[in-house]
């Protein structure tokens, strides 16, 4: 082979647009701006996701604020991949869209799928990256009628750091959840949590449920409407632009209900937070744990 051709191929190979180990990812992508009502924006996004083969799980207004909205969606092939990570990996199968209304227009954003996959699946992502990137591309292209900007925002983290993320030394990682309750069985846990959610215990609202009975896994998206300790307290402090982080989740695996530790989950979804800003919501991880724990009792 011609030496110049060999050199050219080498350059193309090493400069091709693949994700490298030290590449940085942002947690959110701005999709575009929607002109119309919040109701129509949410309905259009739902329709576009469903037309692309995704399943919309639910949506709600965080803080009970009608200028904010969050929507959760998934897909069966994504669930199958995420279930290979036995330690709460199913949480990575739930993707989210955020809506923020400001002066008559609505900014639509999405939780960056690959950011979430690296953070929640960690090293278990190995061997699945190709399929996950395909799902991520299909999720963003599904919203092309809303916009194609896909502008990253919300901070950045290197991929290798995301796989083992923690805010700082001694802080919890993904694999350090908070234990909420143990039940006699998976069905008993389901019954208890659903009953409490249906009753709105602790000023909460069920946004969605994803139940995988064959795996004895259930995930519940929970809106936190307590005005003193819930979303209306902490979201204005840490940033409502990142609304696609919501809602918070309870995951039931077998007979054990857990949640991601607040000091991990808030930090990974708001990576731009400084220690000073984190201190302003110092009580929030405990407040969220109290609210979700009460739903399992």
- 144 pLDDT more than 80: yes
- 217 pLDDT more than 80: yes
pLDDT digits (tens, 9 = 90+) for 236-262: 999 999 999 999 999 999 999 999 999
Question: What pairs with residue 170 in β-bridges?
Answer: none
- Nearest CA to 153 among 243, 265, 34? 243
Q: Are residues 182 and 129 in the same domain?
A: no
- Position 115 in a domain: yes
- Position 19 in a domain: no
The CA distances from residue 31 to 43, 128, 140, 151, 254, in Å, are 16, 25, 8, 7, 37
Q: Are residues 111 and 231 in the same domain?
A: no
Q: Are residues 183 and 156 in the same domain?
A: no
* Domain end among 162, 196, 217: 162
Q: Are residues 35 and 158 in the same domain?
A: yes
The one-character DSSP state at 125 is G
Backbone angles phi, psi at 134, to 5 degrees: -65, -45
Q: What is the per-residue pLDDT for 104? A: 85
Taking the C-alpha atoms of residue 49 and residue 240, their distance in angstroms, rounded to an integer, is 23
- Position 59 in a domain: yes
Q: Are residues 99 and 42 in the same domain?
A: yes
- Nearest CA to 265 among 155, 126, 116? 116
Domain count, the chain: 2
**Full domain range(s) for residue 79:** 26-162
Q: Does the reported pTM lie above 0.95?
A: no
- Nearest CA to 117 among 108, 127, 129? 129
Strands in the chain per DSSP E: 24-25, 28-35, 55-60, 68-74, 95-102, 105-111, 151-153, 157-158, 178-182, 204-212, 217-224, 248-253, 256-259
* Domain containing residue 149: CATH number: 3.30.310.70
- Position 127 in a domain: yes
- Position 18 in a domain: no
* Domain end among 98, 133, 162: 162
- Nearest CA to 85 among 58, 116, 55? 116
pLDDT digits (tens, 9 = 90+) for 27-76: 999 999 999 999 999 999 999 999 999 999 999 999 999 999 999 999 99
Q: Are residues 59 and 136 in the same domain?
A: yes
- Position 58 in a domain: yes
């Amino acid at each position: 082979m011609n030496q110049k051709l060999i050199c050219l191929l080498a350059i193309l190979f090493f400069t091709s647009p693949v994700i490298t180990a030290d590449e940085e990812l942002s947690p959110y992508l701005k999709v575009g701006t929607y002109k119309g009502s919040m109701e129509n924006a949410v309905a259009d996004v739902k329709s576009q996701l469903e037309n692309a083969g995704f399943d919309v799980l639910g949506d709600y207004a965080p803080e009970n604020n009608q200028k904010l909205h969050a929507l959760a969606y998934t897909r069966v092939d994504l669930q199958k991949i995420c279930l290979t990570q036995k330690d709460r990996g199913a949480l990575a199968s739930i993707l989210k869209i955020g809506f923020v209304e400001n002066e008559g227009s609505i900014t639509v954003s999405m939780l960056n799928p690959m950011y979430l996959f690296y953070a929640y699946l960690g090293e278990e992502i190995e061997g699945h990256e190709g399929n996950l990137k395909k799902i991520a591309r299909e999720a963003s292209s599904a919203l092309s009628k809303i916009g194609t900007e896909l502008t990253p925002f919300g901070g950045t983290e290197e991929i290798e750091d995301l796989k083992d993320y923690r805010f700082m030394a001694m802080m919890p990682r993904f694999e350090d959840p908070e234990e909420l309750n143990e039940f006699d069985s998976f069905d008993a846990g389901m019954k208890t949590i659903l009953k409490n959610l249906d009753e709105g215990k602790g000023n909460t609202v069920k946004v969605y449920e994803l139940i995988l009975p064959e795996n004895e896994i259930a995930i519940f998206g929970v809106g936190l409407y307590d005005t003193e300790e819930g979303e209306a307290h902490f979201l204005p402090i840490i940033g409502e632009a990142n609304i696609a982080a919501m809602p918070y989740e309870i995951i039931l695996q077998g007979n054990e209900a857990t949640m991601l530790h607040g000091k991990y989950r808030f930090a990974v979804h708001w990576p731009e937070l400084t220690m000073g800003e984190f201190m302003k919501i110092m009580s929030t991880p405990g407040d969220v744990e109290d609210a979700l724990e009460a739903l399992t009792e």
